[in-house]
Amino acid sequence: MAVPERWVDYLAALGCPTGGLAAGRPRVLTQGTEVLVAPGNELVYALDTRDLQPRVFGLPEPVRHLELLAPGRTLFVLCAGSGIYCVALDTPHRSASQAEDVGGQGDSDVKMGQHPSQCRNQAEEGHSEVDEDPCETQEGHVESGGSPSEVVSVGPDACILPDPSLCAFTLLGDLLVTVSQGPGTWKVRLFKHLCPGPGTEPGAQVGEVVVPAEPPRAPNFLPVLSCVSPPCSRDPHSCLPGPGGSTLQEALFGLLFGADAALVESPVVLCGFPDGQLCSVVLKTLVTSQTAPGDPKALVKVLHHLEEPIIFIGALRTEPQAQEGGDTPADCLVALGHHGRTLAITAGRDETETLVPEMQVYRLPGPVLCATCNRGSLVYYSTPSRLHVVNLAPGDSAHPGLPPLLCQNSLRVCKIVALSSPRDPEDSTKLLALSAGGRLMTCHVALDPARMTARQATSKIQNLLSNISSVSERVLSLKKAVEQQNQALTHLHEALDVSCALLSCQSSPKPIMCTTRPSWRAQGLHQELVATCRLENQGPCSLGPGWSWCIQVLPSSYDGATTYTVPIQQLAPGACCEVTLTLCSGEEEEGGIPDLPVTVSHMLFYSLQEVVGVLLAPVGTEEDTLGVVWPQDLLPPQDGACLPLGLHTVDLLQALRFPSLATPCLPPTNPIDTFLANYQEQGSRPGGQAALQAPYLPPSTVSIRVSSELLRAALGDMGTGGSLCCATLQWLLTEHSPVDVGKSGAPSSVQAVAPDGTSIRLTAQEASRAPSPDLAQRAVPRPGLCVWPMLAGAILAVSFLSPPTGASTPMSFVTPLMHPPSAAPTPSLALPTTSLELRVAWSRRQHPLVSAGSLGSPCPTCCPRGPEVSVEVEKPGTPLSLRAEMGVRLTGPGPWACTVMMVALAGVGDRPGLREPHPSCGDPGGEPLPRHRVPGPPCHDHPHPDSHHGAGDAGRQPAQPASTMPTPDPGQPRGPALGGPGLAGQAIVGELS
């Protein structure tokens, strides 16, 4: 088929059709030079192609259909849910100009419309970008200078047929055929003698027939009507069909509609319903009355069932037109369905030469929005992407009849929502179209009449072949791109799953867990403290490429953290991976003494760059596979998602070494040091550094007194076997192998060596009994909170629930609150603020349950007299610090286990100054200070609840005690909570020995 050449002229920009690309709502109608457009809203535009000045009519309801009755230039408009209105096309023009300007029609014309030249210019610009539909206008506005005041509003007086159920109509002379929708039925009615004008009676109903409807498959579609007539013999001009109708060849007509219709030469109304039925009603037989109701079986004939909403019905002439150019009747009936199913009916003859209807159903690519046909054999139809044309002319003379296959040609105009072809024969190459953006345009379509030569055909075939190959290449690359996209999407989906799993479960065990186990490892000549980190995937998702495991080692003294990144290639569910890192900070590589406590935090990082970046990367010289230009900064290279997995603090306790064990701890780094050390030891006893410091710094002792019952309860199984003291020590040193501790010999006391070589003794001994056991029994069963009146020596009872996965029995313990014997019976005991606050910090971040702001535990230095207790409550692995203070509440997270640790650290030989000073006291951290120091100014601003280093907060705070009083070790992993305030404030310290 020859490709029609085309070009497009924009006529006007009208209001945007409402409903976008919904099929069958907007209408375009042309009659001579008059063009009528209903974009689907309440407005109707009438314009003349010669001057292009639209007149706008505003109707009360959205317009569904238009028909123009030529003789009186009367416009019939169907409004949704209202009825049919009748507008005289000439009078409103006058009235509009009257309203605006009495001066005359010409003046108002200039004001109303866009100047033609202006419009032409626009049209020129638009030529190159037909597909873009560049001018999108707002809804309901005449862009071309029309202001709302120029809208001639059509009132209810103009309604000639009020009926809310009307959904389609057509005109035939002075007959009006309407279709209205009832429950399960379509009602076709016929009116005559419609005379528009105010105050007239509605036309007399002549006939009515009810067509059973099938369940609505597409409620948004409207029925379409079309009139066909047989060729009229006696007076060819008297029975021409209306503007929407056509003349049908008599054989086809008689065949389709029967001898009656052919004999009385009756026009036939074809109804295409949204349920797919294509029915015909012979108009002259549709005279029914109350006393003679019509029989649908006799009046309605179902020609075909298209199984999809019918969009268009038209008549075509498939045979070439006769030479004289007369108006030969159509010989083919076409119906288009919304999804592209197309029915064509012609009259054929079978083998016995009997006239039979020849029906052919084609499938065209849909969805069809609108369609039209001109006098020839072409059907134009619009899909959202293109305007297409199909030719129904017989393929060759050897095979008369309908072509077995239809191939459509694309006209490269898109988003056309309404089409109309002028009826004048000389205009048959013009199409009037309305785009979804509200632009009215003329498409010139003409079939190339010249025959192709062989050479032309060859080159055309070559072109086609090369087109095919380029298309196939493009298809390949597109396919590849789609595969990559799919893969990336899968990865992203998995990543999302993992993230959700990790972020959603607060209390239950996380699907991906990290554990850190510190240990000493021989590294060349010396030993170093290393942490063995283990990443376990216990969730259902596997971690694939794009994920990496970041381990950040943050020594307490060193600002710069060391981050290790371990890319995870594949970590299936159930699998685990393990890395071993040194905990010594970079500066102390040689010394090998880690700066305790060291915080090891684990994160999972998901790199978007790695997964999505492939798609965004430019594909070399090829054009982008997806045809999309990505902005350069769409994805910063470092972008990704970071999921904290947890953190672990390696503290002094974990880094202890036991000299009683076989392994010699910390061999001297070089022989000279060893020698010197030996020499010092021998020379002066107590010699060495410790001996030097001894006169000034007697061995520090920190003790905490805890109820033994509580301890027993807390230790559980561990405490039942042997002595409580031994069990306590064992528990404290759980992270060391039990062999180590067990071999230490002294059940209630363990001698150990700190990483820096100072010796530490941990002693547990039974001191005294808890004052009143009955108070202990009054432990509140409700987990978490309780308030007790605080008295000297009173007991704070807290009951906690163990986590759901842990021991199922709630653990209760009683913390004795003690005042130092030395402290005077302070009036603070009688202070009105007598309650207790339990402050809980989950590792680095504050637990949400910790009530922020009310935690102003006074700095021990600042408020030395405040009775304060600082205890560490710990579930192994999740350190909590419990700070008790007179007059505060207890808060705590939900289900958690809690134990009380009692530890006494005795250290000789401190290296003070490594602590940072209390911010408000301004203590310089570097120098040792006298033991009993006058308290500094009060400070209330810490611990800061928002600090992202919760445990560190609690840990940093005691920095000051370290300065006021030399604490055993700079590290004090849990020292901050433990020794810090307690020692410095002197409030809790039970004994100093």
Partner 1 sequence: MAAEDPRPGAVASVAPPGPAPALAALSPSPVDSSPPPASYLDPWWRKNDDLVRRMKVTQDSGLLLRQQLSAQDALRGFRELLHILQALPAAVSALPLELTVTCNFITLKANQTQGFTEDQGQDIQLGLERVLEAQEQQGPRLKCGIRELWKTVLQATSLLPELLPALHHLAGLQAALWLSTGCLEDLSLLLQMLNGSQNVASEDLLLLLKSWSPPSKELDAPLTLQDACGLRDVLLTASALRQGLQELITENFPRALSSLQEAASGFCSRAVLAQVYTALGSCLRKMGNPQRALLYLVEALQVASVWGPPLLEASRLYRELGDTTAELESLELLAKGLSVAQSSKTPQVLIEVELLLPPPDPASPLYCGTQSHAKHLLASRCLQTGRAEDAAEHYLDMLALLLDGPEPKFSPPAGPPGSCVPELFLETAAALIQANRAQDALTVCEELLRRTSFLLPKMPWMWDDTRNGAKELMNYPLWVSAVYFLQGQAWVKLGASKEAVSDFSRCLELLFRAPPENKDEGIASNCESRCRPDVAVQHLRLAALVSRGLEWVTSGQDTKALQDFLFSVQMCPGHRDASIHLLQTLQRLGRSHEATALWWRLEAQRKLPPEAATGSLPLYLETCLSWIRPPNQESLLEEIRTSLQEPSDLELPGFP
Token code pair at residue 935: 């308290």
54, 142 Cβ separation under 8 angstroms = yes
Q: Does position 155 bind partner 1 by CB under 8 A?
A: no
Q: Does position 184 bind partner 1 by CB under 8 A?
A: yes
Residue position matching structure tokens 């497009």: 8
Among 70, 99, 263, 579, binds partner 1 (CB under 8 A): 263
Distance CA 708, CA 714 (A): 9
How many residues are present in the chain?
993
CB nearer to partner 1: give 215 or 631: 215
Decide the pairing of beta strands 300-305 and 310-316: unpaired
Residue type present at position 296: P
Which residues, including other chains, have CB under 8 Å from residue 152's CB and lie 6 or more apart?
55, 56, 57, 58, 92, 93, 95, 96
Determine the 3-state secondary structure of 707 from DSSP.
Answer: coil
Distance CA 596, CA 589 (A): 15
647, 601 Cβ separation under 8 angstroms = yes
> In angstroms, what is the minimal distance from the CB of 328 to partner 1?
16
Residue type present at position 812: S
44, 75 Cβ separation under 8 angstroms = yes
Strand residue runs (E) in 590-711: 598-607, 640-650, 700-701
Among 23, 59, 87, 255, binds partner 1 (CB under 8 A): 255
Cα dist from 479 to 151, 474, 618, whole Å: 52, 8, 17
Q: Does position 182 bind partner 1 by CB under 8 A?
A: yes
Among 117, 149, 291, 323, binds partner 1 (CB under 8 A): 291
Q: Does position 854 bind partner 1 by CB under 8 A?
A: no
Distance CA 752, CA 743 (A): 12
Of 354-362, 429-437, 575-583, 724-732: span binding partner 1 (CB under 8 A): 354-362
- Cα radius of gyration (the chain): 47
Distance CA 824, CA 832 (A): 18
CA atoms within 13 A on the CB side of 301: 15
Among 149, 215, 323, 353, binds partner 1 (CB under 8 A): 353
Among 250, 307, 681, 916, binds partner 1 (CB under 8 A): 250
> In angstroms, what is the minimal distance from the CB of 72 to partner 1?
18
Decide the pairing of beta strands 246-247 and 224-229: parallel
Q: Does position 194 bind partner 1 by CB under 8 A?
A: no
Q: Does position 289 bind partner 1 by CB under 8 A?
A: yes
Q: Does position 153 bind partner 1 by CB under 8 A?
A: no
To the nearest 10 degrees (0 to 180), the angle between helices 91-100 and 105-112 is: 90
Token code pair at residue 322: 């006769």
Among 104, 199, 627, 789, binds partner 1 (CB under 8 A): 199
Distance CA 586, CA 576 (A): 28
Among 91, 95, 200, 385, binds partner 1 (CB under 8 A): 200
Q: Does position 110 bind partner 1 by CB under 8 A?
A: no
> In angstroms, what is the minimal distance from the CB of 333 to partner 1?
14
Quickly count: other Cβ atoms within 10 Å of residue 824's Cβ: 8
CB nearer to partner 1: give 204 or 482: 204
CB nearer to partner 1: give 289 or 490: 289
Q: Does position 156 bind partner 1 by CB under 8 A?
A: yes
CB nearer to partner 1: give 168 or 855: 168
Residue position matching structure tokens 């009083």: 965
CB nearer to partner 1: give 23 or 190: 190
> In angstroms, what is the minimal distance from the CB of 478 to partner 1?
47
CB nearer to partner 1: give 159 or 818: 159
Among 354, 453, 632, 808, binds partner 1 (CB under 8 A): 354
Residue 370: is it exposed, middle or buried by C-beta count within 10 angstroms (0-12/13-18/19+)?
A: buried
Token code pair at residue 380: 């134009």
Q: Does position 294 bind partner 1 by CB under 8 A?
A: yes
> In angstroms, what is the minimal distance from the CB of 88 to partner 1?
17
The backbone torsions φ and ψ at residue 691, rounded to the nearest 5 degrees and listed phi first, read -65, -35
Q: Does position 264 bind partner 1 by CB under 8 A?
A: yes
Closest CA to 228 of 188, 263, 192, 271: 271
Q: Does position 310 bind partner 1 by CB under 8 A?
A: no
Among 110, 204, 464, 849, binds partner 1 (CB under 8 A): 204
Cα dist from 12 to 521, 542, 781, 935, whole Å: 85, 60, 81, 87
> In angstroms, what is the minimal distance from the CB of 83 to partner 1?
8
Residue position matching structure tokens 């797919």: 276
Q: Does position 292 bind partner 1 by CB under 8 A?
A: yes
Q: Does position 219 bind partner 1 by CB under 8 A?
A: no
For partner 1 (CB under 8 A), the number of binding residues is 63
> In angstroms, what is the minimal distance from the CB of 174 to partner 1?
8
Of 281-289, 325-333, 534-542, 556-564: span binding partner 1 (CB under 8 A): 281-289
CB nearer to partner 1: give 164 or 683: 164
Q: Does position 205 bind partner 1 by CB under 8 A?
A: yes
> In angstroms, what is the minimal distance from the CB of 165 to partner 1?
8
Among 43, 47, 119, 190, binds partner 1 (CB under 8 A): 190
Distance CA 974, CA 879 (A): 8
> In angstroms, what is the minimal distance from the CB of 86 to partner 1?
11
Q: Does position 489 bind partner 1 by CB under 8 A?
A: no
CB nearer to partner 1: give 347 or 901: 347
Among 89, 248, 286, 764, binds partner 1 (CB under 8 A): 286
Closest CA to 704 of 764, 638, 789: 764
> In angstroms, what is the minimal distance from the CB of 59 to partner 1?
15
Among 124, 125, 131, 260, binds partner 1 (CB under 8 A): 260
Of 120-128, 203-211, 384-392, 400-408: span binding partner 1 (CB under 8 A): 203-211
Q: Does position 284 bind partner 1 by CB under 8 A?
A: yes
Among 192, 339, 931, 933, binds partner 1 (CB under 8 A): 192
Residue type present at position 557: S
> In angstroms, what is the minimal distance from the CB of 261 to partner 1?
9
> In angstroms, what is the minimal distance from the CB of 45 to partner 1?
26
Q: Does position 662 bind partner 1 by CB under 8 A?
A: no
Site for partner 1 in 633-652 (CB under 8 A): none
The contact mask relative to partner 1 for 536-555 (x = CB under 8 A, - = no) is --------------------
Region of residue 249 (left: phi > 0; alpha: psi -120 to 50; beta: else): beta
Among 78, 175, 336, 884, binds partner 1 (CB under 8 A): 175
To the nearest 10 degrees (0 to 180), the angle between helices 608-616 and 454-504 is: 170
- In sequence order, what DSSP letters do the residues of 461-528 get, joined into one string? HHHHHHHHHHHHHHHHHHHHHHHHHHHHHHHHHHHHHHHHHHHH-SSSPPSEEEEEEEEEEEETTEEE
Q: Does position 135 bind partner 1 by CB under 8 A?
A: no
Among 58, 116, 134, 173, binds partner 1 (CB under 8 A): 173
Closest CA to 386 of 133, 37, 10, 14: 133
The backbone torsions φ and ψ at residue 112, rounded to the nearest 5 degrees and listed phi first, read -70, -45
CB nearer to partner 1: give 293 or 586: 293
Q: Does position 355 bind partner 1 by CB under 8 A?
A: yes
- The alpha carbon torsion through 982, 983, 989, 993 (nearest 10 deg) reads 160
Which residues in this chain contact partner 1 in the complex, by CB under 8 A? Answer: 156, 159-160, 162-165, 172-173, 175, 182-184, 190, 192-193, 199-207, 229, 233, 239, 250-251, 254-255, 258-260, 262-267, 283-295, 297-299, 352-357
